[in-house]
Amino acid sequence: MKSYRSLLVTVLLLVISNLSLIWATLYELVSSSSKPTKDPIRTYESKFEQQCISICARWDDCRAYAFTHSTVNGNSLIRCDFYDAIISLQDLQRVDGVRFFMEKNLDCKDLYDRGARQSGVYMVNLMGRQKKAVRCNMDVEDGGWLVFTRRTSQKIENFNRLWNEYKNGFGNMETEFWLGNDLLHELTKWKPHQVFVWGIGMNGQEGISMHRDFKVGSEDDGYRLTYDRSYIGLKSFEKPGILDKSHYNMLFTTPDRDQDPYTTTHCGEREESGFWYSHCGPLKLFRPTGIIWSGFQTGSTIKEVQIMIKRQD
């Protein structure tokens, strides 16, 4: 009888251990020294970290958890805090000794589908193989957009960069940046994506251009840009089709690598930035003097432009 009970206990422990391993694959470490500023929906004390994982996995409203080691009356305990929302990196506060985990999300679309509604910087597991902080726009066109470049009228970032810098990415996700051409190639090769070019003027006028089947080629192919040239949506354009004729099938050009078809001018040098230039326009996001987008009304100063991508349904 004792041997039977011993065997049953062993089997149960193995089952629990295996379930914990499976549940552990659902979450990833976001920070080892911070926790959310918001209050947890529940708190639980345990002797084992695995219980934090298994409890969160069983609750439908649990999206993230944090645990802290402590000692009470000589006994080692773990405090598990559970959260019912996706947490952006801006909403974390530094707390030494706290480890914070969140559901694994492949991209901004995953975050939106799981309830995230605040635009900002999030930690995601891109394509299931690359942990990276990215900026997500949750406010426009049904949310879930991964922003791959952002430029504002404040002109904070220097976009007069060389080929390898555009290849690997640069800038600050909180302000202005370029995500990186290698990553854009990998993302658009992994799954079909749509692209969304969005801008807003100081006068509140918006410009929008959306296309399906957005792809960026490999470095060997010059990061060639292609997309379906029919429109998903347009808004407030004097000259519709900002990406249609001017940038389709263009190779990427930087100040140190001229790949634009303009035979008399090196657009990367003239515009002091990298892009898929044709005849150096009409979309000029990164000039030191400011943003030019010919689709906006004459005299409208452009406040901000974002170019974003999202997995197609």
- The CATH code of the domain that includes 306 is 3.90.215.10
Are 151 and 299 part of one and the same domain? Answer: yes
Rounded to two decimals, the pTM is 0.78
Distance CA 260, CA 254 (A): 9
Vertex 27, ends 25 and 29: CA angle to 5°?
115
Supply the range of the domain harboring residue 92: 37-101
Contact at 8 Å (CB) between 299 and 202?
A: no
Distance CA 114, CA 136 (A): 14
Are 63 and 154 part of one and the same domain? Answer: no
Are 184 and 307 part of one and the same domain? Answer: yes
In a domain, 86, yes or no: yes
Contact at 8 Å (CB) between 144 and 124?
A: no
Q: What is the structure's pLDDT at 15? A: 43
In a domain, 58, yes or no: yes
Are 73 and 149 part of one and the same domain? Answer: no
Are 149 and 96 part of one and the same domain? Answer: no
In a domain, 112, yes or no: no
In a domain, 279, yes or no: yes
- Identify the domain boundary among 70, 101, 132: 101
Q: What is the structure's pLDDT at 157? A: 92
Digit-by-digit pLDDT tens for the chain (313 residues) are 555 555 554 544 444 444 444 444 578 788 888 889 889 998 988 877 788 888 888 887 888 889 888 777 777 888 899 998 778 888 889 998 898 888 888 899 988 988 889 999 998 888 877 788 999 999 988 999 999 999 998 888 999 999 999 999 999 999 999 999 999 999 999 999 999 988 888 888 887 888 889 999 999 999 999 988 776 655 433 444 455 567 888 999 999 999 988 888 898 999 899 999 887 876 778 888 878 776 665 555 788 999 999 999 7
Closest CA to 188 of 242, 140, 127: 127
Are 295 and 195 part of one and the same domain? Answer: yes
Are 92 and 160 part of one and the same domain? Answer: no
Are 63 and 194 part of one and the same domain? Answer: no
- Identify the domain boundary among 101, 119, 135: 101
Are 204 and 297 part of one and the same domain? Answer: yes
- Identify the domain boundary among 86, 101, 116: 101
Q: Structural domain tally of the chain?
A: 2
In a domain, 16, yes or no: no
Residue 260: burial class (beta carbons within 10 Å; 0-12, 13-18, 19+)? buried
In a domain, 20, yes or no: no
Residue length of the chain = 313
